[in-house]
Protein backbone atom coordinates (compact mmCIF):
# COMPACT_ATOMS: atom_id res chain seq x y z
CA UNK A 1 0.00 0.00 0.00
CA UNK A 2 1.30 3.43 -0.87
CA UNK A 3 2.30 5.80 1.91
CA UNK A 4 -0.10 8.37 0.49
CA UNK A 5 -2.83 8.55 -2.14
CA UNK A 6 -1.03 9.11 -5.45
CA UNK A 7 -2.73 11.13 -8.16
CA UNK A 8 -2.79 10.09 -11.80
CA UNK A 9 0.33 11.43 -13.50
CA UNK A 10 2.22 12.05 -10.23
CA UNK A 11 5.37 10.17 -9.25
CA UNK A 12 6.39 6.87 -10.82
CA UNK A 13 3.12 5.09 -9.93
CA UNK A 14 0.93 7.89 -11.25
CA UNK A 15 3.02 8.09 -14.43
CA UNK A 16 2.65 4.36 -15.12
CA UNK A 17 -1.10 4.77 -14.54
CA UNK A 18 -1.56 7.81 -16.79
CA UNK A 19 0.73 6.54 -19.57
CA UNK A 20 -0.66 3.00 -19.28
CA UNK A 21 2.78 1.44 -19.46
CA UNK A 22 5.44 -0.11 -17.28
CA UNK A 23 7.94 2.44 -15.97
CA UNK A 24 11.47 1.38 -14.99
CA UNK A 25 13.51 3.94 -13.05
CA UNK A 26 17.22 3.26 -12.55
CA UNK A 27 17.69 6.14 -10.09
CA UNK A 28 14.60 7.53 -8.35
CA UNK A 29 16.47 10.72 -7.41
CA UNK A 30 16.59 11.57 -11.13
CA UNK A 31 12.86 10.98 -11.71
CA UNK A 32 10.99 14.32 -11.70
CA UNK A 33 8.33 14.35 -9.00
CA UNK A 34 9.34 11.02 -7.43
CA UNK A 35 7.27 10.31 -4.30
CA UNK A 36 9.48 8.68 -1.67
CA UNK A 37 7.64 6.38 0.72
CA UNK A 38 11.00 5.12 1.95
CA UNK A 39 14.35 6.88 2.02
CA UNK A 40 15.95 3.50 1.25
CA UNK A 41 14.38 3.32 -2.23
CA UNK A 42 16.97 3.88 -4.99
CA UNK A 43 15.34 2.27 -8.06
CA UNK A 44 11.80 1.27 -8.96
CA UNK A 45 9.60 -0.57 -11.45
CA UNK A 46 5.86 0.07 -11.71
CA UNK A 47 3.61 -2.20 -13.77
CA UNK A 48 -0.02 -1.31 -14.59
CA UNK A 49 -2.69 -3.82 -13.59
CA UNK A 50 -5.44 -4.11 -16.21
CA UNK A 51 -9.09 -5.15 -15.97
CA UNK A 52 -11.57 -4.76 -18.84
CA UNK A 53 -9.11 -2.64 -20.85
CA UNK A 54 -8.64 -0.18 -17.97
CA UNK A 55 -5.76 0.35 -15.55
CA UNK A 56 -7.22 -0.46 -12.14
CA UNK A 57 -4.01 -0.43 -10.12
CA UNK A 58 -0.26 -0.75 -10.28
CA UNK A 59 2.33 -3.17 -8.96
CA UNK A 60 5.12 -1.05 -7.47
CA UNK A 61 8.45 -2.65 -6.61
CA UNK A 62 11.34 -0.70 -5.10
CA UNK A 63 14.98 -1.58 -4.46
CA UNK A 64 17.60 -0.11 -2.18
CA UNK A 65 20.10 -0.51 -5.04
CA UNK A 66 20.48 1.58 -8.20
CA UNK A 67 19.41 0.05 -11.54
CA UNK A 68 17.97 -3.10 -9.97
CA UNK A 69 15.34 -3.70 -12.66
CA UNK A 70 15.75 -4.57 -16.33
CA UNK A 71 13.78 -5.85 -19.32
CA UNK A 72 13.63 -9.36 -17.84
CA UNK A 73 11.97 -7.99 -14.69
CA UNK A 74 9.61 -5.94 -16.86
CA UNK A 75 8.60 -8.96 -18.95
CA UNK A 76 7.96 -11.28 -16.01
CA UNK A 77 6.22 -8.72 -13.79
CA UNK A 78 3.90 -7.87 -16.70
CA UNK A 79 3.12 -11.59 -17.02
CA UNK A 80 2.48 -11.85 -13.27
CA UNK A 81 0.01 -8.95 -13.19
CA UNK A 82 -1.96 -10.61 -16.01
CA UNK A 83 -2.77 -13.33 -13.47
CA UNK A 84 -4.23 -10.86 -10.97
pTM of the model: 0.91
In order of their start, the domains of the chain are 11-82 (3.30.450.40)
Residue 6 DSSP code: -
Interatomic CA distance for residues 73 and 78, integer angstroms: 8
pLDDT at 23 over 90: yes
pLDDT of residue 2: 64
Which is it for the CA torsion 33, 34, 38, 41, positive or negative? negative
Amino acid sequence: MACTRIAKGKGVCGTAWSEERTVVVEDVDKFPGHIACSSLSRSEIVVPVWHNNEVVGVLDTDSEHLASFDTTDKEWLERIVQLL
